[in-house]
Amino acid sequence: MPTRFIFVAGGVMSGIGKGVAVASIGRILKSKGFGVTAVKIDPYINVDAGTMNPIEHGEIFVTEDGDECDQDVGNYERFLDENLSRANYITTGRVYQAVINRERNLEYGGRCVEVVPDIPNEVISRIKKAAKKTQADFVLIEIGGTVGEYQNLLFLEAARMIHLREPKNVLFILVSYLPIPEKIGEMKTKPTQTAVRLLNEAGIQPDIILGRSKVPLDAPRKRKISIFCNVQKEDVISAPDIESIYEIPINFEKENLGNRILKKFDLRAKKPSTRAKHGAGPVPYRNEVSGTGQNLKDWEALIKTIKNTKKPVKIGIVGKYFETGSFTLMDS
In 10 A of CB 307, how many CB atoms? Answer: 11
**Tens digit of pLDDT per residue, the chain (332 long)?**
899 999 999 998 888 999 999 999 999 999 999 999 999 999 999 999 988 887 777 788 999 999 999 999 999 999 999 999 999 999 999 999 999 999 999 999 999 999 999 999 999 999 999 999 999 999 999 999 999 999 999 999 999 999 999 999 999 999 999 999 988 989 999 999 999 999 999 999 999 999 999 999 999 999 999 999 999 999 999 999 998 999 999 999 999 999 999 999 999 998 654 443 333 443 333 333 334 445 788 899 888 888 888 888 888 877 666 777 777 766 55
Q: How far apart are alpha carbons 33 and 218 in whole angstroms?
A: 31
Collect all residues with Cβ–Cβ distance below 8 Å to 200 and sequence separation of at least 6. none
Indicate the number of domains in the chain: 1
- Per DSSP, helices labelled H in 177-291 are 190-201, 219-229, 248-254, 257-264, 275-278
Give residue 127's Cα distance to chain centre: 13
3-class DSSP state for residue 174? strand
Containing domain of residue 25, as a range?
4-328
Helices 18-31 and 71-80 cross at an angle (nearest 10°) of 20
Strands 60-62 and 68-70: antiparallel
The answer to whether the predicted template modeling score (pTM) of the entire model surpasses 0.75 is yes
- pLDDT, position 318: 72
Three-state helix/strand/coil letters over 160-193: HHHHHHCHHHEEEEEEEECCCCCCCCCCCCHHHH
Domain containing residue 236: CATH number: 3.40.50.300
Tell me if the bond preceding 282 is cis, omega within 30° of 0. no
Do 25 and 190 meet the contact criterion of CB atoms below 8 Å apart? no
> How many residues can be counted in the chain?
332
- pLDDT, position 331: 58
